[in-house]
Amino acid sequence: MKKTYLISLIAVFILILSSYSIFAQSSDKILLTENIKVSFVNQEPDPAEPGTFVDVRFKFENIGLETSDEITVELLPEFPFSLLPGKSAVTKLGTLHARQLGEDGVIVKYKLIVDKDAVEGINDLKLRYRIGNNVWIEPDEYEIQIQTHDAILSIDSIKISPERVKPGDKASLSVSISNLADSLLKDIRIKLNLDNSPLAAFGSSNRKTIKDISSGKEIEVKFDIISEPDAESDLYTIPIGIEYSDELGKAYNITGSFGIVVGSDPELYPIIDSTEIYNSEKTGDITVKFVNMGLTDIKFLNVNLKSSDKYKIISADEVYIGNIDSDDYETAEFKLFVKKTKEENIILPITYEYRDANNIEYKKQISLKLPLYSTAEAKKLGIVEGNGKVGIFLVIIIVVVGLYIYRRWKKGKKLISFGFRKKSR
């Protein structure tokens, strides 16, 4: 009986030892050897950023029923982690009493440098410990999260061709973006907001999607746009938004804006509208008409007539006109005295300056021809009338001479008649 009891007791003891051995061999960042449990508490910040610092904390607990003395901990940092200069990787914990658990556990903290070239994502960190002079025990590696700063996708440039979009015309818009992170970026969605402009996407949507961009790479996204035919010339602000995700699934978005100039080159044509001068040695007014035949309005038009040895400017030589709407005109008037000349034309050199609706400055010169005629040519062409006073004077002379002849004739007739009567007596 005693023998059977002893055998049963030995069997139970063996079973207890086996169970403890199995439990002690389990590890998921928790290692139970010599009754010591090591767990990773946290990292600050989480995630860490390349080129900065990170604090890591580990908790040591004694889950056994016996005290463990002279516990030594050593951190084993590898790239991208390193200790601060002058700091030791070894920490002396001293003694952990039996069942020293939970809040009573001992926290070990290390401040580490994260290399500026650290790879985004999960990076492993190792440590080891020992009790007394026993062998070192190395738990499984611990995972430290590293992630670059939020501004990891950059809009490098936005180009428009042509640089100024004419009303009713198409243009090509290219957006260059680059991945400044050290890891892949994915699900990039680019959107142009054209709602408050006279522009629309042409041939495709105002949204583009890119599957991914590798680290350090740059891509170009193209949009085709078109301007409304009646679009007013102006600078229009276009908002742009980009959404994307990193490899860890964290979502980002960036917004910005850029300008598109809508307009065309002004088409301003000056012509001589009317003149009072057809001969040399005459004084009169000359009216120059400025016709805006373009699609854009004109502002601040100023006109200057240059002097010449062929004429003398009686009025001011400069006229400020101001604004001329598209498909409209304004005039400038000058008073001149044309000197004696045998030339058939007088050249009027005119300089005019203005700005378009987008405030772009223009300065142009033109030479207008003022035709001159002889008196006979002017009368023949009906440009000038004959001398009315001379005609009236001739008519008066004719009438007077006629009356004089008529009276002389009448008087002679009476004398003759009177002589006949006297003779009959």
pLDDT band at 19 (very low <50, low <70, confident <90, very high): very low
Q: What is the pLDDT of the chain when averaged over all its residues?
A: 85
- Is a pLDDT exceeding 90 seen at residue 422? no
Amino acid in the structure at residue 169 = D
Condensed to tens digits (0 to 9), the pLDDT of residues 44-68 reads 998 898 889 999 999 999 998 888 8
Listed in order, the ranges of the chain carrying CATH 2.60.40.10 are 26-146, 153-262, 268-380
| Residues facing residue 345 across a β-bridge | 371
Please give the Cα distance from 13 to 282 (Å, whole number).
138
pLDDT at 150: 63
Domain 26-146: what homologous superfamily? Answer: Immunoglobulins (2.60.40.10)
pLDDT at 14: 57
Selected from 2.60.40.2140, 2.70.98.40, 2.60.40.10, 3.40.366.10, the CATH number assigned to the domain covering 153-262 reads: 2.60.40.10
pLDDT in tens, 185-216: 999 999 999 999 999 999 889 999 999 998 88
The hierarchical CATH code for the domain 268-380 is 2.60.40.10
pLDDT, position 386: 53
Tell me if 184 sits within 8 A of 120, measured CB to CB.
no
Task: Provide the CA 103 distance to its chain's centre, in angstroms.
Answer: 57
User: What is the predicted pLDDT for the residue at 28?
Assistant: 37
**Taking the C-alpha atoms of 100, 105, 106 and 110 in order, what is their torsion angle to the nearest 10 degrees?**
150
> What tokens appear for 220 in the block?
């170009």
Give the dihedral of Cα atoms 288, 363, 299, 296; nearest 10 deg: 90
